Amino acid sequence: MIGMLSTAILVLSVGLYRVIGTERIVVVPPTISTTFWCQGDKCSNAYLEQMGGFAAWLILDVAPSSIEWKKSTLLGFVAPDIVGKLKERQELEAERLKRLNASTYFLPQQLAPDEAKQTVRITGLLHTQINGQGTPPVPKTYEAVFNHKGGRTHLAGFTEITQNGQASLARGDAPVAGGH
């Protein structure tokens, strides 16, 4: 009887060990357009697409009247190690937009998630207006990097991918969290 109980406890312990860390936690992005999952430190491609689009909207679609609340919203889900740099960068951007009476908006054309790396590449056109005058749209590609820990997803980086394949932390023509 003791042997059977010991075997049962051992089987139960092995089963429990295999289940720990495989629990999927459902996390809700700002809008839901498709189903997705997050498990351990990974999220599905569908989730990465939604969060990448949301991050691009917060960073790239800004005007003097919207940058403050978008900055606050963005900082709420940024990884702790880049919060300071991103806050400083967005404050400089707010100052610049107000001084130039400028706004930018980004029209995404393609979102390419990479589940293994927890990144999403966002390709589209960046439009800029200065004093109500539009400039020609510029094709841009950005990469948003996410990390998921403890049931929470953080933006760990937002990088412009330049034509020569080099990366720079950027927002249109100026850096987001660091220098060019």
> How high is the pLDDT of residue 141?
94
- In this prediction the pTM is 0.71
Tokens at residue 125, please?
């056109």
Rounded to an integer, what distance in angstroms lies between the CA atom of residue 90 and that of residue 93? 5
Three-state helix/strand/coil letters over 90-104: HHHHHHHHHHHCEEE
DSSP E strand stretches across 52-137 = 102-114, 119-130, 133-134
Render each residue's pLDDT in the chain as its tens digit; 180 residues.
999 999 999 998 888 777 665 555 455 555 556 666 677 778 888 888 888 999 999 999 999 888 888 888 888 888 888 888 888 888 888 898 899 999 999 999 999 999 899 999 999 999 999 988 888 999 999 999 998 877 778 899 898 988 766 555 544 333 333 332
Phi (first) and psi of residue 169, to 5 degrees: -70, 115
Domain annotation for the chain: domains and CATH numbers? 2-169 (3.10.450.230)
> In this structure, what DSSP letter does residue 117 have?
T
> How high is the pLDDT of residue 13?
86
